[in-house]
C-alpha cells in the first residue's frame, strides 16, 4: 500500500440485517461473500436451474467465487444442462463443506434442497430467493415475492443490482425459467412479456433455446407415454365435484424417462376441465412425487402444504412414501376438504408451474 493511503474498509456483509432484503440488499450480501454456493430445488426445473446459473455467473463477474449445485437423489436432467455452457454446476458431493453465503433459489422449504439440506446449518449466511407463497421463512435473509412470475424475475433484479450486464448464457437461463414458469407467457402479464423481450434482446433466442430445453426423446417414449395415458383415471366427484384426472408412472419408467415425465401432467390437465390433474411418479420404489395442476380453485398449494409439500395455487407438488393408493387417498381427502373450506386465492400473477 502507498504510504498515506487508507486501507479500504472491509465489506461489511454482516451489515445487512437478517430478514427480508430487496435486490440491493441481496447484492450487498453477495459482494461481501468470500464464496457463494447457489442451490436450487431437487429435481430442478428451468426456473431453479436458470435462476441458479444466472445468479452464480453474476457473482463470479464481481470477483466472488461461485458454484451451483442441486441436492440428490437425481442428477440434473440433460436438457437443462444446455443452460450451463460455462460448467458452473458441480455434483452435490463436490460442494464446499462450509459455504460462506448459501443462496437457495426457487426453494420454498428446507427439504426442497434434498441431500444438501444440512448445509443450512453450516453456512454463515443463507439467502433465499423465491416466489412461492408457501415459503416457510427459512434462511437468514430472503428475497421472496409471490407476485413474481418466476424466481428468475427476482434473480434478474439482483443481477442488475450487482451492476452486471447480462451475457447471452444468463439471458438464456433467465428466459428459460420465465418461459416455463409462466406456461409460455400465458401468465405473468405485460411485465413478464417485457422481461422476456429484454432477455431476447440480450441474446436469448427462443426457437433454438426451447428446442434444446425440450431435448429429444427416444422412439420408445411414445409407447411409454401411450401406456401411461391409457392408465389415466377420471373421478368426476373428486375435489368437491370439480373432478380429478390422475395417472401414475412406475419407478422404472420414471427413471428411464426422467426428462420427459414432467410434461405428462400437461396432458392430464388438458382433459381435466375446471378440475385437478395429478401425476404420481414413483421417484424410488415406494416413494411418490405428486405433481398437481388446476385453475387455482381449489388452492393446490394449500392441498400440497397440508401433505408436506408446497407450490402455487394452480401448480403444486408433494412427495409421499407408501402404496400409491394411500397417496391418492390423501390427495382425494385434502382436495375435498380444500374445495369445501378454501378461500379463493389471489390469482393475479399465478405462475403456471415451477
112 touches which of ligand 5GP, Mn ion, none (CB within 5 to 8 A by kind)?
ligand 5GP
Measuring CA to CA, which residue among 308, 215, 306, 300 is closest to residue 257? 215
Shortest separation between residue 278's beta carbon and ligand 5GP, angstroms: 9
318 touches which of Mn ion, ligand 5GP, none (CB within 5 to 8 A by kind)?
ligand 5GP
Classify burial at 210, counting beta carbons within 10 Å of its beta carbon; exposed 0-12, middle 13-18, buried 19 or more: middle
Rounded CA gap, 166 and 159, in Å? 8
Residue nearest to ligand 5GP (CB): 317
List residues bridging with 130 in a β-sheet: 144
Q: Toward ligand 5GP, which CB reaches closer, 151 or 170?
A: 151
319 touches which of Mn ion, ligand 5GP, none (CB within 5 to 8 A by kind)?
ligand 5GP
269 touches which of Mn ion, ligand 5GP, none (CB within 5 to 8 A by kind)?
none
3-state secondary structure of 79: helix
Q: Toward ligand 5GP, which CB reaches closer, 28 or 349?
A: 349
Using CB under 5 A, list all residues that contact Mn ion. Answer: 47, 106, 151, 181, 354
Residues 6+ apart with CB under 8 A from 30: 36, 58, 59, 62, 64, 101, 103, 127, 158, 162
Please write down the HEC assignment for all residues of 227-245.
HHHHCCEEECCCHHHCCEE
Q: Toward Mn ion, which CB reaches closer, 181 or 299?
A: 181
Q: Toward ligand 5GP, which CB reaches closer, 161 or 331?
A: 331
Shortest separation between residue 47's beta carbon and Mn ion, angstroms: 3
Taking a C-beta distance cutoff of 8 angstroms, is the pair 294, 331 a contact? no
Shortest separation between residue 76's beta carbon and ligand 5GP, angstroms: 14
Kindly give the residue spans of alpha helices, DSSP state H, lying in the chain: 23-31, 46-61, 151-161, 168-181, 189-201, 206-214, 220-230, 251-256, 264-270, 300-306, 324-341
3-state secondary structure of 297: coil
Using CB under 6 A, list all residues that contact ligand 5GP. Answer: 41, 45, 108-109, 112, 132, 262, 291, 309-312, 315-319, 353-354
248 touches which of ligand 5GP, Mn ion, none (CB within 5 to 8 A by kind)?
none
Shortest separation between residue 145's beta carbon and Mn ion, angstroms: 12
Q: Toward Mn ion, which CB reaches closer, 28 or 352?
A: 352
Taking a C-beta distance cutoff of 8 angstroms, is the pair 21, 127 a contact? yes
Strands of the sheet with 101-105, listed across from one edge:
19-20, 141-144, 125-130, 101-105, 36-40, 66-70
Q: Toward ligand 5GP, which CB reaches closer, 31 or 112?
A: 112
Shortest separation between residue 134's beta carbon and ligand 5GP, angstroms: 6
Shortest separation between residue 76's beta carbon and Mn ion, angstroms: 16
Amino acid at each position: 500500500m502507498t504510504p498515506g493511503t487508507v486501507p479500504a474498509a472491509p465489506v461489511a456483509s454482516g451489515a445487512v440485517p437478517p430478514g427480508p432484503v430487496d435486490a440491493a440488499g441481496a447484492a450487498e450480501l453477495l459482494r461481501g461473500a468470500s464464496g457463494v454456493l447457489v442451490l436450487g430445488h431437487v429435481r430442478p426445473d428451468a426456473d431453479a436451474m436458470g435462476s441458479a446459473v444466472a445468479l452464480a455467473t453474476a457473482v463470479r463477474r464481481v470477483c466472488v467465487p461461485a458454484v451451483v449445485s442441486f441436492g440428490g437423489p437425481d442428477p440434473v436432467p440433460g436438457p437443462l444442462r444446455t443452460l450451463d455452457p460455462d460448467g458452473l454446476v458441480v455434483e452435490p458431493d463436490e460442494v464446499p463443506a462450509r459455504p460462506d453465503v448459501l443462496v437457495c433459489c426457487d426453494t420454498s422449504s428446507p427439504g426442497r434442497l434434498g441431500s444438501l439440506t444440512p448445509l443450512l446449518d453450516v453456512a454463515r449466511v443463507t439467502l433465499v430467493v423465491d416466489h412461492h407463497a408457501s415459503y416457510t421463512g427459512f434462511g437468514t435473509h430472503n428475497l421472496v415475492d409471490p407476485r413474481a412470475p418466476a424466481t428468475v424475475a427476482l434473480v434478474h433484479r439482483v443481477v442488475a443490482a450487482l451492476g452486471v450486464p447480462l451475457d447471452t448464457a444468463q439471458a438464456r437461463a433467465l428466459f428459460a425459467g420465465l418461459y416455463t414458469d409462466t406456461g409460455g407467457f400465458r401468465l405473468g402479464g405485460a411485465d413478464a412479456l417485457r422481461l422476456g423481450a429484454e432477455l431476447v434482446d440480450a441474446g436469448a433466442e427462443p426457437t433454438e433455446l426451447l428446442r434444446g430445453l425440450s431435448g429429444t426423446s427416444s422412439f420408445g417414449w411414445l409407447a411409454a407415454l401411450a401406456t401411461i395415458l391409457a392408465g389415466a383415471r377420471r373421478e368426476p366427484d373428486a375435489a368437491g365435484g370439480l373432478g380429478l384426472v390422475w395417472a401414475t408412472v412406475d419407478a422404472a419408467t420414471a427413471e428411464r424417462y426422467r426428462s420427459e415425465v414432467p410434461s405428462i401432467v400437461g396432458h392430464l390437465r388438458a382433459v381435466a376441465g375446471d378440475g385437478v390433474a395429478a401425476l404420481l411418479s414413483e421417484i424410488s420404489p415406494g416413494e411418490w412425487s405428486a405433481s398437481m395442476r388446476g385453475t387455482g380453485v381449489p388452492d393446490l398449494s394449500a392441498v400440497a402444504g397440508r401433505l408436506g409439500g408446497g407450490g402455487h395455487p394452480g401448480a403444486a407438488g408433494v412427495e409421499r412414501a407408501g402404496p400409491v393408493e394411500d397417496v391418492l387417498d390423501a390427495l382425494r381427502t385434502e382436495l375435498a376438504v380444500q374445495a369445501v373450506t378454501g378461500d379463493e386465492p389471489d390469482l393475479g400473477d399465478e405462475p403456471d408451474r415451477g
